[in-house]
A and B are shown apart, each in its own frame.
Chain A
């Protein structure tokens, strides 16, 4: 290793004076005598340049693969066909050559860049595609066939915007985003890593808080504020206490709680998961090639933020109905005398020892101008205030939502935002580049979010009514994979596990209710309390999927702990959609009140159209009509009809959101 370093030094022509390595012109990374013997270290030596280039280059390369999948899937959707390209007269159109004239902040930036680079965007999506896409994106449900018909035949030029509003105001919108935020806040019955129990009661309370916050249109900065600053006697009745509780840490001193809460706040609300590294050690020598902010961030700075959580207390309260030590709820309290002491040698993080004589760390927000709590303000409230008024809080939230609606975040991965690389008015020094694919867009959309009072619906409206959102996934020219992050075409994605389940139940018209356990208290030996929900999107946590879990799991819904929700495919998904009884029973003509029974006595043409219209939210094209028609006329018609419905549930355009 030593000899390799010297060879590299020579080849790069770096001057060595004594044992001090002078590298590049990087004033923010002075190499002093303390680090002299880091000369051989890969992180500081000449190899560093190579890492940076490799990392950034690899990051750029890997991000371009979204379009690969899109190309493959779109190819299966078929070519041009007048039925499927139907754009009824009267709907707002635009010329992609001229760019969008919508005045929408999203369009200004997306099309601005495309024009600048001379890239032709994809064509506008047709009404069939739009109605299904936006319904899935905003509500996790496919549109009902009557709504599809009404939408497509509507001649109102503003029908798309009006449909967006209809979806935003629906009960299903609340369901889907309750699931989304349940994922983000990691609402589970227990945290396995620390054996912290919310239990079903706590999880339901947390779900209800999320649900009601969304339903009531609570401003998002207020939601975040409540989660960070919450105090209260009972986690089973006060849902917002459960975010802090989930970040409790066992097997160590109380400083471990504070660190974990701080790290979780950084990731959940500021999209910054590198912070969790800095809580253990300085960034230097660890995250140098990952985060510009991180590489000069110090553990003291991390303590400074963690210190805001030093007044938090967690007390288990055993239920007095049954003296079972495992049945308890939590009280989250405030200890005004709590401080962040540098006096640990054990636990989950490296030792915390006095620095330059300082034995206690004062709370200081790690970004901006040394901000701290106001006089009389509790520290947790101060943290909530500082986080939610940070511009990057808006950026991070906008990015999370953008990713869900536009498939690719403006910053990817969404939880690796680098605070020092986001501002287009203050770009990072070379070779670092601005992190967002469109930094001006992220800035302006974040500002727009703030100007609208951190209103989630208004943000989603802004995105889904933009022309950029309404591009089709088909591309009629030669596509270049490096354009992936420019949103010049729609990117496809698989449906969520819950969306697949609910789409099959809804379109087949055969209900699939799920029983959720909502209480584990067993007073007087009675059965644990449950409630029934009609849709998978209304389940409240991974543990609450009940009997539906077997169907859902192959579609990677995640467990909100170690396993995130994934968009990947698998053999088991194919096996499930082809053979699982959940699907099979719903494809049969004898399913009572089912989709097939409703249309089987119609003409072949009508039958085919209705099945397509209901399951895929579109009309069959000529070749599909011919194939399906031929199947219906040869052999057993009922069986052929069942086969047809089965095929639609296994078709690529059922399973993908395009």
Chain B
């Protein structure tokens, strides 16, 4: 966190919004409203957290009321792979390339791809797939603090806002929305979090929509075989069933969400299942195609899981190490730099895109990649790095998105948006990215769920009904 960083003042915020939309917004919230601040994270999250725990988890949701406006969703994607570049990558060194004389390494090899400056030195393979990639360069984060913004990005709203602390991860919303689409044989969790142990969970939604977290491994999903073998496991399990008394069939509570038995049955379904092995195990050769890195292994697993078509719809993958306050351009082995981490991304993501294309799932799988904010532009810091900065990029591919171009431009340094590039006529925000993801999946982003703990209504996208945030439809045209 850079001491003394100034945050947007009220006048600046006015300029960020479409004027009339903002005036309507202010009229509804008529005090000198500065919507978002970098507040210490964790504090408000804690106090609302307990509302989402225990008690609420057991309520059957048949009483849920979901209401939204009549909208036209893009509905081109079945799946989402959401890649969080944790630590905040430098936008001017990656996907909003700015060659600053005497600063930017020449090896970046800036290449003009259909009018977009591309860092071919760091992303040579992705360069070849530019026609499949759409970049948003007019994006701006609300806050330059890691935990706060990483949470913001996953829940698509301010963590410090009223419902921020009970807000589910976008993946949990997708999970609950797509629940009805699961067929009997689809036993994989809808929401998977790979290398993302700190992934935000299901918020106030029942625990069944929590992300299934694990670190991909060549040996596959852990604890899905019994060390004594399948035959012994059968014997064990049937003895267990014999000892435990059967559940009362006429319980007045129906089928509680937290039914112990349900977890065991789901777990059994994942065991000794060739589909599970096929999806979660991988060969050295395949891992090598993805670069033999933990990130590569995660994208490989994601591809296999989607291929299996066993109910998984939203996969969050984290790649950390981007917080390059020091030596951002170092080539020293073992150091995180644009070169080292960029290569990890280039190798893995290009292979993922190629594989999805060859198995026919590219057009129905939306890939979204972003950090929690960007990094300072122009001169490097005193420690040869770049510090926190609000301007950022968002990378889209697949899911029917039209590639080979960028939406929006920034000024010469990459400091502020110069052209917005979309109908919102303002900076693209995380909330818009959220709306875009829902729209891509055919989910009404204006939905409000009335099953939240306050009975106030939980909006999938804040203020979507007032049109303040909305999908970036230009990605499809």
Q: Which residues of A contact B (CB under 8 A)?
A: 1, 37-38, 40-41, 51, 54-55, 57-59, 61-63, 65-66, 68-69, 71-73, 75-79, 191-195, 249-251, 256, 260, 263-264, 267, 273-274, 276-277, 280, 285-286, 289-290, 345-350, 412-416, 479, 481, 553, 559, 561-564, 566-576, 578-581, 584, 623-624, 627-628, 631, 639-640, 642-644, 646-648, 650-652, 655-656
Which chain B residues in 38-62 approach chain A with CB under 8 Å? 38-47, 49-51, 53-59
B468, chain A: closest CB distance, angstroms: 13
A78 touches B245 (CB 8 A): yes
| B50 & A415 in contact (Cβ 8 Å cutoff) | yes
Nearest-neighbour CB distance to chain B for A139, whole angstroms, equals 23
Collect the chain B residues with CB atoms within 8 Å of residue A569's CB.
207, 258, 260, 263
Say whether A349 contacts B39, CB under 8 Å.
yes
Complex interface: chain A residues within 8 A of B145 (CB)? 193, 251, 348
Q: Given the complex, which residues of A lie within 8 Å of B268, measured CB to CB?
A: 574
Instruction: Tell me which of A77, A562, A627 contacts B198 (CB under 8 A).
Output: A562
For B50, give the chain A residue with the smallest CB separation: A413
Residues in A neighbouring B4, C-beta threshold 8 A: 346
**Residue B476 interfacial (CB < 8 Å):** no
Most chain B CB neighbours (cut-off 10 Å) among A68, A415, A559? A68
Given the interface pairs A251-B2, A581-B227, A624-B243, the reply to whether A193 lies near B42 with Cβ below 8 Å is: yes
Contacting residue for A76 out of B232, B245, B267, B455, CB 8 A = B245
CB-CB < 8 A to B84: which residues of A? none
Question: Which residues of the partner chain A approach B29 to less than 8 Å between Cβ atoms?
Answer: 41
Known: A414-B50, A569-B258. A72 touches B253 (CB 8 A): yes
- The reply to whether A349 and B37 contact each other, CB–CB distance below 8 Å, is yes
Query: Which residue in B42, B160, B243, B263 is a CB contact (below 8 Å) of A647?
Result: B243
Least distance between A112 CB and chain B CB atoms (Å): 25
A51, A79, A650: which contacts B456 (Cβ < 8 A)?
A51
Q: Is the CB of B239 within 8 A of A627?
A: yes
C-alpha gap A194/B271 in the complex (Å): 41
Distance between A577 CB and nearest chain B CB, rounded to angstroms: 9
A574 near B264 with CB under 8 A, answer yes
- 27 A–B contacts, CB within 8 A, in A order: A51-B454, A54-B454, A62-B453, A69-B258, A73-B260, A250-B3, A251-B144, A273-B43, A276-B44, A280-B37, A348-B145, A350-B34, A415-B50, A481-B253, A553-B197, A562-B42, A563-B201, A572-B214, A574-B268, A578-B271, A580-B223, A584-B226, A628-B239, A631-B239, A640-B235, A643-B232, A643-B235
Closest CB of chain A to B7's CB: distance in Å?
Answer: 7
- C-alpha gap A552/B456 in the complex (Å): 36
Q: Distance in Å from the Cβ of A491 to the closest Cβ of chain B?
A: 10
* Chain B neighbourhood of A40, CB < 8 A: 27-28
- Assess whether B46 is in contact with A572, with CB atoms less than 8 Å apart: no
Cβ of B12 < 8 Å from any Cβ of A? no
Please give, as numbers and ranges, the residues of chain B lying within 8 Å of A562 by CB-CB distance.
41-42, 45, 147, 151, 198, 200
Complex partner residue of B1 from A1, A69, A195, A566, CB under 8 angstroms: A195
Within the complex, the shortest CB–CB distance from A598 to chain B, in Å, comes to 20
Residue from B42, B55, B189, B245 with most neighbouring chain A CB atoms (10 Å): B55
B243 touches A579 (CB 8 A): no
The answer to whether A69 and B58 touch (CB under 8 A), given A346-B6, A581-B227, is: yes
- Contact residues in A for B160 (Cβ distance below 8 Å): 280
Residues of A within 8 A of B256 (CB): 68-69, 71-72
State A63–B40 Cα separation when bound (angstroms).
29
Complex alpha-carbon distance, A226 and B261, angstroms:
46
B53 touches A564 (CB 8 A): yes
Chain A residues with Cβ under 8 A from B252's Cβ? 71, 479
A520 to B456, CA, bound (A): 48
**Is B64 an interface position by the 8 A CB rule?**
no
**CB of A636, distance to nearest CB on chain B (Å):** 9
One of B40, B226, B271 near A193 (C-beta < 8 A): B40
Q: Considering only CB atoms, which chain A residue lies closest to B54 in the complex?
A: A567
Top 5 nearest A-B pairs (CB, nearest first) are A54-B455, A273-B47, A251-B1, A574-B267, A413-B50
Find residues 1-21 in chain B having any chain A CB closer than 8 Å to their own CB: 1-7, 9
B325 → A minimal CB distance (Å): 11
B224→A571 contact, CB < 8 A: no
B215-228 interface bits toward A, Cβ cutoff 8 Å, 1 = contact, 0 = none: 00000001111111
Measured CB to CB, the closest approach of chain A to B12, in angstroms, equals 13
Q: A264-B43, A568-B54, A571-B263 are in contact. List 20 more A-B contacts (CB 8 A).
A: A65-B58, A66-B58, A69-B58, A71-B256, A72-B259, A76-B261, A79-B245, A251-B144, A273-B46, A274-B47, A346-B5, A349-B37, A413-B47, A415-B47, A562-B200, A566-B207, A570-B263, A572-B223, A576-B223, A628-B243
CA distance A559 to B198 in the complex (A): 9
Q: Given A41-B30, A62-B55, are A75 and B245 neighbors across the interface (CB < 8 Å)?
A: yes
A54 and B456 within 8 A (CB):
yes
- Taking a contact as CB atoms under 8 Å apart, the answer to whether B455 and A55 are in contact is yes
B345 proximal to A (CB < 8 A): no
With A251-B5, A628-B243, A643-B236 as contacts: A579 and B207 at CB distance below 8 Å: no
Q: Which A residues touch B162, using CB under 8 A?
A: 286
Q: Which B residue's beta carbon lies closest to that of A276?
A: B43
Q: Which residue of B lies closest to A567 (CB)?
A: B54
Contact indicator A579/B223 (Cβ below 8 Å): yes
Do residues A57 and B232 form an inter-chain contact, with CB atoms below 8 A?
no
Q: How many angstroms from the CA of A77 to the CA of B38 in the assembled complex?
A: 50
Residue B31 contacts which of A195, A285, A413, A584 (CB distance < 8 angstroms)? Answer: A285
B54 touches A627 (CB 8 A): no
**In the complex, how many angstroms separate the beta carbon of A617 from the nearest chain B beta carbon?**
16
Looking at A37, A260, A267, A562, the one whose CB has the most chain B CB atoms below 10 A away is A562
Closest CB in chain B relative to A183 CB, distance in Å: 11
Chain B residues within an 8 Å CB radius of A79:
245
B207 touches A570 (CB 8 A): yes
Query: Can you list, as one digit per residue, whether each of B96-111 has a CB less than 8 Å from chain A (1) or not (0)?
Result: 0000000000000000
Contacts of B237 in A (CB 8 A): 578
Is the C-beta of B334 less than 8 angstroms from some C-beta in chain A? no
Asked if B28 and A651 make an inter-chain contact with CB atoms under 8 angstroms apart, the answer reads: no
B212 at the A/B interface (Cβ < 8 Å)?
yes
Please, how many angstroms separate the alpha-carbon atoms of A627 and B240 in the complex?
Answer: 10
Chain A proximity of B219: nearest CB distance (Å): 13
CB A153 to nearest CB in B, in angstroms, measures 25
Interface residues of B in 250-298 (CB under 8 A from A): 251-253, 256, 258-261, 263-264, 266-268, 270-271
Which residue of chain A has its CB nearest to the CB of B221? A575
Chain A residues positioned under 8 Å from B55 (CB to CB): 62-63, 65-66, 412
Taking a contact as CB atoms closer than 8 A, the residue among A68, A264, A349 that contacts B58 in the complex is: A68
In whole angstroms, how far apart are the Cα atoms of A651 and B453 in the complex?
Answer: 33
Q: What chain A residues lie within 8 Å of B30 (beta carbons)?
A: 37-38, 41
A575 and B40 contacting across the interface, CB-CB below 8 Å? no
Complex alpha-carbon distance, A584 and B236, angstroms: 12
Whether B115 sits at the interface, judged by CB under 8 Å, is no
A65 adjacent to B59 (CB under 8 Å): yes
Q: Report A-chain residues with C-beta under 8 Å of the C-beta of B9.
A: 345
Q: Are A627 and B2 in contact (CB under 8 A)?
A: no
- Bound form: Cα–Cα A571–B311 in Å: 15
Judging by beta carbons under 8 Å apart, are A55 and B456 in contact? Answer: yes
A350 surroundings in chain B (CB, below 8 A): 34, 37
B185 at the A interface (CB under 8 A): no
Alpha-carbon separation in the docked complex, A86 to B268 (Å) = 36
Determine whether B244 belongs to the interface, using a CB cutoff of 8 Å to chain A: yes
| Residues from chain A with Cβ under 8 Å of B51 in the complex | 62, 413
Please give me the residue from chain A that is nearest to B264 by CB atom: A574
Tell me whether B242 is interfacial, beta carbon within 8 Å: yes
Closest-by-CB residue of A relative to B7 is A346
Most buried by A among B2, B27, B40, B210: B40
**How distant is the Cα of A331 from the Cα of B148 in the complex, in angstroms?**
27
Q: B146 within 8 Å of A by Cβ?
A: yes
B5 surroundings in chain A (CB, below 8 A) = 251, 346
User: In the assembly, what is the distance between CA of A38 and CA of B239, in Å?
Assistant: 65
Return chain A residues, CB-CB under 8 Å to B228.
584, 642
A330 to chain B, nearest CB (A): 18
